[in-house]
Structure 1
Amino acid sequence: MIFIIVIECIMEMVRGFKRLKVIPKNVSTDLPTTSKLSAEQLHFYRDNGFLVIKRLINFTDLNNYKQHFIEACNDKVNLGVVTVVKERSLVTKSKKREDYINKLQDIQFDDVFKTYTEHPLLLDVVAQLIGNEIMVINCMFINKPPGTSIHPPHQDLHYFPYRPADQIIGTWTAVDHAHVNNGCLWVVPGSHKANTLHEHGLLPGALKMYHGIIDESTAPLDKRVHLEMGPGDTVFFHPLLVHGSGANISKNYRKCISAHYAHTKCDCVDVHGTVQDIIAKEVEGEIKRRGVSLDFADYWRLKSKEVRGKSKL
C-alpha cells in the first residue's frame, strides 16, 4: 500500500555559444551486431567521462518511443506511474500538449519505454562500463519544444544517493537530430576526474528541481564540447561529468530518451548534511506535502528496477 501511495506522490510531484576551436576526437563507432567495446573506447570513457556510440538504437525503436510519447501527450495511453513535467513558460502559448510538455519521468515501468532501459545492446555497453549486475534507477523521455530554456551546468550524481559514483552511468539517446540550435547536450571532458560533487541549487530561469552548479567556473564556455548527434546515437556518461544543454532556438522539437543505471551492489547513502541536502529536502518536502513521510534514499530504492544479472559478454 505504501508503494502505491508513494508512486502516486511521485506522479503528482512535478506535474503542474560558444563552441570549442579545437574539439578532442570523440571515439565512436557503429554497432550493428555487436556491442563489444574496444580498448580505445574504454580508455576514452575513463579519460573523458563520456563515450558516444553512433546509431546504437534502431529507427523502429526510436519511432515507437516517439509515437508513444505523442499518444501520451494526447491522453491516448494510460501513463500509470509516469510523471509529466511541463515547461511552465510555454503552457499558455499553445493548446497542443506536445508544445509544452518537457518530459515524462519514471518511464522504466512503462511497457513501451522499458524496451529502451532493457535494450540488450544498451545493457551490453553499460555492463562493460559499470559491471555486469545492473539496475535502472531513473528513465526519462525528454521533449524540448521550441522556446525551451537551457539546462544549466550540473552533475547527475546530485540527484542520486547511490555510491560509488564509478558504478553509476547515464545514457542519452537522440530520437531527433540534436544540434546547437535546438539545445543539444554539451559536456566538459575530464571534469569527472576531480571526483568532486559540486554544490548545486535552483538557478534563475531554471525549472523546478533542474538544479545547476553554483560555481560557474566549473563549466567555462571554452571547455564545453557540444555533442551534435543523429537519431539513435547514444552517449554514455559518468555521473560526476559536468554537462548541460542549450536553449531550443529552432522551430523543431528535440526529443531524446535517457536513463541512469547503477550496479546492483551499490549502496544507498544518507546525503543529509552534505552538498545534496538541498535536493534531499526538496524531494522529501514534495512527498510530505502530499501526506507521506519518506526518506530520500527510500524514495530512490522504490524507483529502482533490476534489469540484468550476470553478463554474457
Structure 2
Amino acid sequence: MLKLSPSDVETYNRQGFLITGHKIGADRLSTLHRAVESVIEANPDVRPERLVNIHQPGRNPQGLVGDRRFLDIAREPDIVDLVNDVIGPDIILWGAQLFCKPAGDGMAVPWHQDGYYWPIRPLANCTAWLALDACTVGNGCLRVISGSHRERRLFSHLREAREGQVLDLEVKPEEIDETSIVDVELEAGQVALLDVFLVHGSNPNRSANRRAALAMRYIPGTSYIDMELFSPRALWLLRGKDHTGRNDFDVFHRELTREEI
C-alpha cells in the first residue's frame, strides 16, 4: 500500500497542494498517451482542454466519447492510496478531465477555485493531477496560489469570457496574492494532489511541446453531489461507504460493449 509520510500530509494541509513522490511507469504512460489520441480523435469538435468526464467509457452524459483507460488509472490502487491519506478511507470517484494543451495554441486557465463550480455538500474534494507530458513553465504548467485554501472559503469570482481561456469565471484580481504563486512543474508520469479550495490556473502554451494532464476528482464518503444543480455524471464508490446515502452509484452506468472492454 502506497502511503504519504506525515510530512507530506502536513505539506498538503499547509500549502493546499503536494507534489507526491509517486510516478507511473513508462508502459502505463504510453497506454494513456494512446488514450489521449483516441479521445481527441473521437471528439473533433471539442477543444482538447475541455474533455470532461473523459474517464466514462463510451458516450457520456455530456455528449463526449470517453476512454476506459482513464477510468482504470483513476481507480488505480496507488492513486487511491494517495487520496486516502488526505480525505480519509471512504472515497468516491466522480469526475476526470483531460487538460491537453496543444503546442503553439494551448489555452490558458484563469485563476479559479474548483469548489466554486461544484455543488458538493459539504464541500470537500481532492484532485489527483497526473502529468501525462512533461509540464513546465514554458508549456503552461499548473500554477497555484500556495496557502489560498486555508480559510476554507470561496473567493469572489468574475464572469469574464475571454478568447483563449478555458473557463469563463475567474477570481477577482484583488483576491490574488502574487507573492504566493508557485509553478508546479512535473515530469511526465508524476502526480500532484490539490485541495478543492486552492486557487489555481495556468498560462497558455505557446511552446513547441504539447502539455497534457489528467485531473481525477474524488470526494469523501461524508459528502454528496447535488445532481439537481450539476450536469449528470456517473459515480464510483472506490473504498469504504457513502455515509450520506445521497450518492447514486447506478445512474449513468451501463454495460460496455466488447469493443470498449
Same fold (TM over 0.5): yes
Residue 295 of structure 1 corresponds to which residue in structure 2?
228
Residue 216 of structure 1 aligns with an amino acid whose one-letter code is: P
Deviation string 1:33-77 (CA, Å, 9 cap, x unpaired) is x521111111111111111113432222221111122123334xx
Residues 212, 222 of structure 1: alpha-carbon distance in 2 compared, 3 angstrom cutoff = farther
Residue 149 of structure 1 aligns with an amino acid whose one-letter code is: M
Q: Which has the higher helix share?
A: 1
Residue 67 of structure 1 aligns with an amino acid whose one-letter code is: R
Contact 2:97 2:215 in 1 (8 A): yes
TM-score where L is the length of structure 2: 0.80
TM-score where L is the length of structure 1: 0.67
TM alignment of 1:249-288, pairs within 5 A: 249-268=206-225
Range with greater deviation from structure 2 (203-212 or 62-71): 203-212
Output the aligned Cα RMSD.
2.3
Q: Decide which of 233, 238, 257 is 1:307's aligned counterpart.
A: 238
Residue 63 of structure 1 corresponds to which residue in structure 2?
30
Structure 2 unmatched runs, 5+: 58-67, 242-261
Q: Decide which of 58, 79, 93 is 1:122's aligned counterpart.
A: 79
Q: Which has the higher strand share?
A: 2
User: Secondary structure at the residue paired with 2:34?
Assistant: helix
Range with greater deviation from structure 2 (240-249 or 196-205): 196-205
Deviation string 1:87-116 (CA, Å, 9 cap, x unpaired) is xxxxxxxxxxxxxx3342112323211111
Alignment coverage as a number of residue pairs:
230
User: Secondary structure at the residue paired with 2:222?
Assistant: coil
Residue 41 of structure 1 aligns with an amino acid whose one-letter code is: D
Q: Quick one: percent identity of the two aligned structures?
A: 26
Q: Does 1:148 align with 2:106?
A: yes
- Of structures 1 and 2, the larger Rg is shown by 1
Contact 1:202 1:210 in 2 (8 A): no
Q: Does 1:162 align with 2:95?
A: no
- CA distance in structure 2 between the partners assigned to 1:44 and 1:84 by the alignment: 40
Structure 1 unmatched runs, 5+: 1-33, 87-100, 270-293
Residues 107, 61 of structure 1: alpha-carbon distance in 2 compared, 3 angstrom cutoff = same
Q: Does 1:39 align with 2:42?
A: no
TM alignment of 1:136-215, pairs within 5 A: 136-145=93-102, 146-165=104-123, 167-205=124-162, 210-215=167-172
